[in-house]
Structure 1
């Protein structure tokens, strides 16, 4: 069986493609850059091009989908329409759609949430067989220079979440493990799964794993740091940093927003990595 990973050039899609390839599957990675993990067949194409998507889907039964960090309503709607057109005419049995964040049930006004909800609705209405994954915050974010720098030089973990907020921090590696399981395990039709690591940690508990103390960062400072490393906008005149910063502001108002569902790992038949083990395995985390 051939698996198509849409977004295989990114950190999240790349983790999925790498996991599937390591399991011995034939994997095709769709994107505009052609940069895919070792063992993955690159397939160049734009997400808004139904013809290219249809060609990439030839011989494919299972699809992993992660959208790029684009949050303009019209652009994401065009992506979803192109995907629906391509998928409906294909012989695809399952599409595992990673929303790259939790998405609240109630209206939020946050572009990173509303555009993903709309994409799910478009694909579902078209009859695409979806399994939806809603991850929390990624441990790999801690390696960003504006987080890693003060962590190593000052012994301070700064992140734009309240200190008391418990988060089921998840690694990209474990995202790959969970997604691969969601692509292959029976009985998941129509599932909506809230992912997370094996424990929920507050800011100080996470910082302690590094031998550091925690400081809640102003989301505006986070926005500025992320925008310094990205170019252009995320759509509709909003920067990538601002779009992501808005999700953290929302999470701060909901104590249970990033809590993991403890039944998901068992349902998918996987064992997840405790945050402490992940930290210990990062060469950059050694002070």
Structure 2
């Protein structure tokens, strides 16, 4: 019996591998590269484009950690359907799904289906599969602030540029917090539906800049930029299509009053986990 981790060499999956391995769990690292080396894990090659391949890996697993990769919405939708089909076929003991910043708000079934996008398709499919599941709902990841175009401006100019209004409050979370929550949720099959992960109360861009300044020993100012400016800065890293999708998500975000977690469904309340503050996260990543 083992825990299968999607994207085990990536930003979200790798910390989950580390957290489970540290707890003495057997881990299967799911990657598209059969030659990948993942410490403390067995590497298995499988692709989200094949429900059959996924079912083969899921079968007999104690748990599966899944998140959707950055790709076109068409591909992500296909991946979501394939993951659900594989779960229904293989029947792993438990599935923990990170919505990766997409909204999956708590509703009568533990979450609320928001449209027919990939995250909603996957969350709805898990809820209807009869397999024990939970959906981790982060708001925004601290690791976004490590993007070269963001971090270079902090270091070179003392300016933190990000596509959020100056007064916009967010319950930021780290990939390390997601790993902590995933490891805990695998041991808590009594908890299903959405678990919100992020600091509370939520903080603003200037709060982030102050934490960076304290860590770096210099003044750092916050500057709100447009989603299109952010899109242009990340397109060389992710491609035009994914960058456009990211920019659109920030345009939608700009219509909201904030992106704060729901305390009643938080990791703090449900799992007794306290997510990292900005200063703690900066220290943990060694910035």
- Match for residue 85 of structure 1? 85
Secondary structure at the counterpart of residue 4 of structure 2: strand
Q: CA deviation at 1:129?
A: 3.0
Q: Is the 8 A contact 1:102 1:194 kept in 2?
A: no
1:146 equivalenced with 2:149 (yes/no): yes
- Match for residue 11 of structure 2? 11
- Match for residue 248 of structure 1? 250
> Map of 1:60-75 to 2, 5 A cutoff?
60-73=61-74, 75=75
| Partner residue of 1:224 out of 224, 232, 236 | 232
CA RMSD, aligned part only? 2.3
Query: Which one is further off, 86-95 or 175-184?
Result: 86-95
Once residues 268 and 200 of structure 1 are traced to their aligned partners in structure 2, the CA distance between those partners, rounded to angstroms, is 19
Against the structure 1 CA distance between its residues 185 and 70, is the aligned structure 2 distance closer, same or farther, given a 3 Å change threshold? same
- Match for residue 108 of structure 2? none
Q: TM-score, normalised by structure 1?
A: 0.86
Q: CA deviation at 1:94?
A: 1.4
Q: CA deviation at 1:9?
A: 2.5
- Deviation string, structure 1 residues 34-80 (Cα, Å, up to 9, x no partner): 4464112111011121222122123312111111112423x334323
- Match for residue 236 of structure 1? none
Q: Which runs of 5+ in 1 are unaligned?
A: 234-238
Once residues 48 and 113 of structure 2 are traced to their aligned partners in structure 1, the CA distance between those partners, rounded to angstroms, is 26
Q: Is the 8 A contact 2:83 2:122 kept in 1?
A: no
Q: Which runs of 5+ in 2 are unaligned?
A: 106-111, 214-219
Once residues 140 and 204 of structure 2 are traced to their aligned partners in structure 1, the CA distance between those partners, rounded to angstroms, is 12
Q: Is the 8 A contact 2:80 2:118 kept in 1?
A: no
Query: Which one is further off, 195-204 or 164-173?
Result: 195-204
| Partner residue of 1:268 out of 264, 271, 276 | 271
Q: CA deviation at 1:196?
A: 0.8
- Match for residue 102 of structure 1? 102
Query: Which one is further off, 255-264 or 240-249?
Result: 255-264
Q: CA deviation at 1:15?
A: 1.7
Q: Is the 8 A contact 2:59 2:92 kept in 1?
A: no
Secondary structure at the counterpart of residue 20 of structure 1: helix
Once residues 276 and 72 of structure 1 are traced to their aligned partners in structure 2, the CA distance between those partners, rounded to angstroms, is 34
Once residues 108 and 53 of structure 1 are traced to their aligned partners in structure 2, the CA distance between those partners, rounded to angstroms, is 26
Query: Which one is further off, 266-275 or 90-99?
Result: 266-275
Query: Which one is further off, 89-98 or 117-126?
Result: 117-126
Against the structure 1 CA distance between its residues 107 and 247, is the aligned structure 2 distance closer, same or farther, given a 3 Å change threshold? farther
- Match for residue 281 of structure 2? 278
Q: CA deviation at 1:85?
A: 2.6
Q: Is the 8 A contact 2:96 2:186 kept in 1?
A: yes
Q: CA deviation at 1:167?
A: 0.9
Against the structure 1 CA distance between its residues 94 and 65, is the aligned structure 2 distance closer, same or farther, given a 3 Å change threshold? same
Once residues 281 and 115 of structure 1 are traced to their aligned partners in structure 2, the CA distance between those partners, rounded to angstroms, is 32
Query: Which one is further off, 193-202 or 216-225?
Result: 193-202
